[in-house]
Structure 1
């Protein structure tokens, strides 16, 4: 299912910026397992409302939100430490989401600079092109624009023309971060998420799988039959 915009073409893109969790990799399901395990120890249930509030935030903010909503008697630091232990067990099983490998390899083939923003370098094709939330140049987390502005600067993008950068995001906070940076945004939300129609109007496209993405709409080479 795709929510189409009224436009059929968009400003030409020279650089592509990806969120990682839930956009490139299927880690959101693993974060759910992590939170479910921690809350279960206190007889609590992890709900999608909690998950939606946490998505796109840094680890400290996510832990603070979950503790406030669930009422479990631990500190954010204790939650983060427990979560890290479970993540070490689960995250090696993370896999690219549908359409991701095709697009990433396509961008590599056509030498279109790209980067991912995340707290862990889990996606090998990006090599050093990962901007982390704890990077000293990132002064504020999402929905502030810092993460994407820093990433674009390091890729050599023209920040006087931020619309030449295309952001792929799954969370509200990440979408707002890309929009606040003045960039084009493709929103790939969880199908259970109730979309704010004012935000929908601001993004370039909303789709529920990267398999639906057509690079030629953004002035990039189209896929060919070999890809």
Structure 2
């Protein structure tokens, strides 16, 4: 376990955001769209991955960590993490009013099981047949058009580096 942790520390220290993520997160936050993170990762893992992006974490209303949250009893593809995460917003939106951005098959399945819309930007190695039920499949987050989901349009002409 110690050897794994050393590798994680080295790898996670250089984690980069996917293209378009910073711009989209800041845009939604600036426009008052409530956003949160629902992850199966541990608090330590999130801290390591986000150590160079700490300011961005301030844009999120909350983070639900399935690995340590007592209300999340099962991991993805079970929908619990998304339902718990949504319930923590002050207005407690209905699942069908939530939009999930995902990158993994288990997350897509969990969002759909929660009756939420899901936009997926998959790893190119994932077989797209496994994602056929997603609301929308994109090659890049830079292609995401929030206005298609009733959100303020995002200007991607001044993308982050």
TM-score normalized with structure 1 length? 0.59
Q: Which whole-Å deviations, capped at 9, do the CAs of 1:21-55 have from their partners, x for residues lacking one?
A: xxxxxxxxxxxxxxxxxxxxxxxxxxxxxxxxxxx
Q: Does 1:174 align with 2:95?
A: no
**Structure 1 or 2: more helix by fraction:** 1
What's 2:37 paired with?
Answer: 116
Q: Which whole-Å deviations, capped at 9, do the CAs of 1:200-225 have from their partners, x for residues lacking one?
A: 1x221001110000011111111246
* Matched pairs, number: 145
Q: Does 1:156 align with 2:86?
A: no
User: CA separation in 2, counterparts of 1:186 and 1:142?
Assistant: 16
| Match of residue 116, structure 2, among 183, 189, 194 | 183
User: CA separation in 1, counterparts of 2:91 and 2:112?
Assistant: 16
CA 1:145/1:193 → structure 2, altered by over 3 Å: closer, same or farther?
same
Aligned to 1:93, what secondary structure does the other structure show? coil
User: CA separation in 2, counterparts of 1:132 and 1:223?
Assistant: 28
Q: Does 1:103 align with 2:24?
A: yes
Unaligned stretches of 5+ residues in structure 2: none
| Match of residue 146, structure 2, among 203, 215, 224 | 215
User: CA separation in 2, counterparts of 1:150 and 1:139?
Assistant: 10
User: CA separation in 1, counterparts of 2:80 and 2:3?
Assistant: 28
* Structure of greater Rg: 1
Unaligned stretches of 5+ residues in structure 1: 1-77
CA RMSD across the alignment? 1.9
Give the alignment of 1:5-84 within 5 angstroms. 78=1, 81-84=2-5
What's 2:77 paired with?
Answer: 143
What's 1:89 paired with?
Answer: 10
Aligned to 2:128, what secondary structure does the other structure show? coil
User: CA separation in 2, counterparts of 1:106 and 1:185?
Assistant: 19
Q: Which moved more, 1:110-119 or 1:136-145?
A: 110-119
Q: Which moved more, 1:119-128 or 1:130-139?
A: 119-128
Q: Which moved more, 1:216-225 or 1:143-152?
A: 216-225
Aligned to 2:82, what secondary structure does the other structure show? helix
User: CA separation in 2, counterparts of 1:157 and 1:192?
Assistant: 37
Aligned to 1:196, what secondary structure does the other structure show? helix
